[in-house]
Structure 1
Amino acid sequence: MLKSYRPLFSIPHLPGLFIWSLIARLQVAGLPIAITFLVADWTGSYALAGLVSGALTVGTALAGPIRGRMADRGRADRIMVVCGVVYSGGLLLITLLPAALWWISLPLSLVTGLFLPPAGQIGRALWPRLTSGQNRKAMYSMEATFQEVLFVVGPVLTAAVVGLSGGRAALVMLAVISLIGALGFAMMLRVAGLTRTPAVETGANEGARRSLLTIGPLALLVVVCMMLVGGLAAVDLVIVAWARELGTPGYAGALAAIWALGSLVGGLVAGGLPGAPRVSRRAFAAAAGVALLIPLLPPILELPTPWLIAPMLFVAGLAVAPTLAAVTERLGDVAPDNRRAEAFGWMNTGVTTGVAIAAPMTGWLIDLGGIAAGVAGGVALSLSAAVLTLWVPGARPQPTTVPTPVG
């Protein structure tokens, strides 16, 4: 299995670019925790803390395509530096606010979110320039797999700092990590000579004014990302709610880590498999994995301990990273060469929107029918994403009797 990944480490600059792109994204998953604790300390209200965290998310979603377009048309390294400085500065300004002026953090968070350094977008747009064939498939699998790792490491690191020094210290730490990551990734782009897209270097920029959402397969993949990630986010929210109902919040991190570990193993295995990934098959497998959790959750079944669901959580996670990798690779294929970073900006907007949809929906379903009902909502979203992949060109296996030209 690991043989498929070894060639990636021999590609000039690729390991450094990948590592720095991950560091530049490390703070994202931990920010909601730090902001929630900080604002809740100021106001005593989790609802107000949610508003501030939501404002940051809205800013991030709104500007994703714009940041991507700027990276496609200009110098990616400069964009990383500018966004890194402004974004980190915005987070630090929030930490300096007195409790009485907490409301200033609302517009400040919105503006800060607009400048999230687009490391993920730029990185995903670069992989097709540096890899091809099996190497490209392995690269996107590794990307999706380690993204899952970030969603475990970020919250765990943030929670540890919150426990030791409070939300303000945690937010300062995340601001510093974001700045270091953005500057490091910008430096690697310069060293690799990949600060501009080929279209910018050659002066070719046809179709730059046309909205990418007019490209049918690309728009469909953005919706698939929205529904898929919304369904997966529902499981994360259910885990937190279940642990809270049991009066053992510590279970939430441990169960989420098991869910992510399954995704990590699945992603590594999928990246080593030969042949093109079948998006629909993986998407239906991801939906089925989430569905397997429903019979094991209250009120359908009252387990004596949540640890008994751990093996099924691991199994349910196996298809998560492979599905995300296949969808990401397919989006990179259908996006115009000179606008890939913008395309992945729309993907980020879709992902953020999916999480925003899942949060209130899952909470309402849990209140209505318990923990199992919350997961059922996640299944509905994941299954909808799987059905939509049937209309994505190249998502299903093609007939082998007639050669299919690649264009």
Structure 2
Amino acid sequence: MDLGAYRPVLANRDTRNALLLGFLIRVPMWAGAVILTLHVVSSLGRSYGEAGLVTAASTVAVAVSGPWRGRLLDRIGLRRTVGPSLVVQVVCWSIAPWVGYAPLIGFAALAGLFVVPTFSILRQVIIRSVPSDQRRTALSLDSSATELSFMAGPAIGVWLATSWDTGWALLVCELTSVAAGFVLWLVNPRLTSDSDSAQSGSGGDSTGERVALDEVGEASRAEAIAAGAAVPDDGPRGRAIRGFITVPVAAVYLAAACSTLVLSGTDVSIVAALRSFEATGSIGWVLALWGAGSLVGGLLYGAWHRSFSVFWLLFGLAATTAPVALAVGVPSFAVLITVSGFLCAPTITATVEQLSRHVPERFRGEMMGWHGSAMTAGSAIGAPVAGFAIDHGGWQWGFVVVSALGVVIAAAGLVGSHVGRRPAGSTARTDSEHGVAAASMDH
């Protein structure tokens, strides 16, 4: 482990600016989500279930828009994608705080469809701005910055909603987020390297070279990824399911969805556990400890000397979640939940890093859009699954069930990668096209 690995990454101006801008954009985003719930409950006099429907409408819209907005980034660029989004956001959030419940759902969904794809944009900038061997470190910094914004945003949102009228708080917060998006539009950071543009227009020779690499070089590439070595971004590996989505890419998306399934289930279970301990007032600082564990884990992973398979990290994340069910009071619960957070950021970082190595640069916007949709889908599944388990077995079962699901999926991914490997002496074409593609799921 070498903490000095962060020095050249932070010395890179593009990376440093992306990290700072990401933090400034995400803080009002997290704050706005909390204020929206409090606005529905307090100002509109609705139930928490009805507030959840507003959030669900926005979340589904964001998930649907992810691949579409990412594809626009790839095809027409940042400014032409973000510009119309900013206009829609201003219109929606200038009106939404002052309307009734039903129109609010519509405005929240419309704003979600045209959300500025900040996660996709900033991660593309970070990936583009650093050498391949610094990618994991840079993405780990981004995950850590996200954790910091997640720790700060909800606290600021609660303060604004309790200090001001929730309508004005929602307006100020969402327009602050739009202003941050306008800064992103103004700066207009480059999303892809110059070499990719040249390669895209180079004609049929490039295609032939990629086919040869697909058939011959995949095994060595997979080994390089596993060892954390730098590898060229040559193109999608294995037989495509749809466009750039190959079996290894689909496997990483599944891991991403499962990671947020575990995390969203844990989130619900934390609230249920602390209510059971009659320590509802401790929810805020316990969640902060969970985020702090993830922050530390992300920084250590970024300083580590190699990458790990996303399935190993997912396995560790899920396995460390189950022991939280053994807590007998707030002190032991706080310790166990902090430990369970340690692999949150590394797992998310690994999904982005490994996707960036499997998918050509010209598809990275859409790649990140699908990544966001996969994580949103996992979150949408994890919370109700944990809630059902809690209702029928107590708060402990919330942790146990999502942990078990994570372990099973991670184990299936690891077993699949092992079975997919062929004997070293095999030279059959089917081994090149299918076995190696399956093996790279682990990397």
If the TM-score is normalised by the length of the shorter chain, which range does it land in?
Answer: 0.7 to 0.9
- Structure 2 unmatched runs, 5+: 208-234, 424-435
Instruction: Report 1:146-161 matches (<5 A).
Output: 146-161=145-160
Name the CA shift for 1:161/1:384 in 2 (closer, same or farther; >3 Å).
farther
Match of 1:283 in 2: 314
- The answer to whether 1:127 aligns with 2:151 is no
| CA radius of gyration, larger in | 2
- The answer to whether 1:370 aligns with 2:378 is no
Deviations 1:325-358 (A, max 9, x none): 1121001111121011111110100111111111
- Structure 1 unmatched runs, 5+: none
Secondary structure of the structure 1 residue equivalent to 2:26: coil
The alpha carbon displacement at 1:202 in A equals 6.8
Instruction: Report 1:158-173 matches (<5 A).
Output: 158-173=157-172
CA contact (8 A) 1:24 1:178 kept: yes
The alpha carbon displacement at 1:281 in A equals 2.7
- The answer to whether 1:47 aligns with 2:49 is yes
CA contact (8 A) 1:228 1:385 kept: no
Name the CA shift for 1:200/1:388 in 2 (closer, same or farther; >3 Å).
farther
From 271, 274, 283, the equivalent of 1:243 is: 274
From 253, 260, 272, the equivalent of 1:229 is: 260
What is the rounded CA distance, in whole Å, between the counterparts of 1:381 and 1:87 in structure 2? 37
CA contact (8 A) 1:240 1:252 kept: yes
Q: Percent identity?
A: 26
The alpha carbon displacement at 1:388 in A equals 4.5
CA RMSD of aligned residues (A): 3.0
CA contact (8 A) 1:213 1:219 kept: no
Instruction: Report 1:5-404 matches (<5 A).
Output: 5-41=6-42, 42-97=44-99, 101-190=100-189, 193-194=190-191, 204=201, 211-212=242-243, 214-296=245-327, 301=328, 303=329, 306-390=330-414
What is the rounded CA distance, in whole Å, between the counterparts of 1:392 and 1:347 in structure 2? 21
Q: Which moved more, 1:53-62 or 1:237-246?
A: 237-246
The alpha carbon displacement at 1:245 in A equals 4.1
CA contact (8 A) 2:128 2:192 kept: no
What is the rounded CA distance, in whole Å, between the counterparts of 1:392 and 1:12 in structure 2? 41
The alpha carbon displacement at 1:115 in A equals 1.1
CA contact (8 A) 2:74 2:362 kept: yes
The alpha carbon displacement at 1:373 in A equals 0.6
CA contact (8 A) 2:69 2:117 kept: yes
Deviations 1:165-206 (A, max 9, x none): 24323312321221122112223335xx55898656776499
What is the rounded CA distance, in whole Å, between the counterparts of 2:278 and 2:35 in structure 1? 21
Secondary structure of the structure 1 residue equivalent to 2:150: helix
Name the CA shift for 1:122/1:28 in 2 (closer, same or farther; >3 Å).
same
Secondary structure of the structure 1 residue equivalent to 2:146: helix
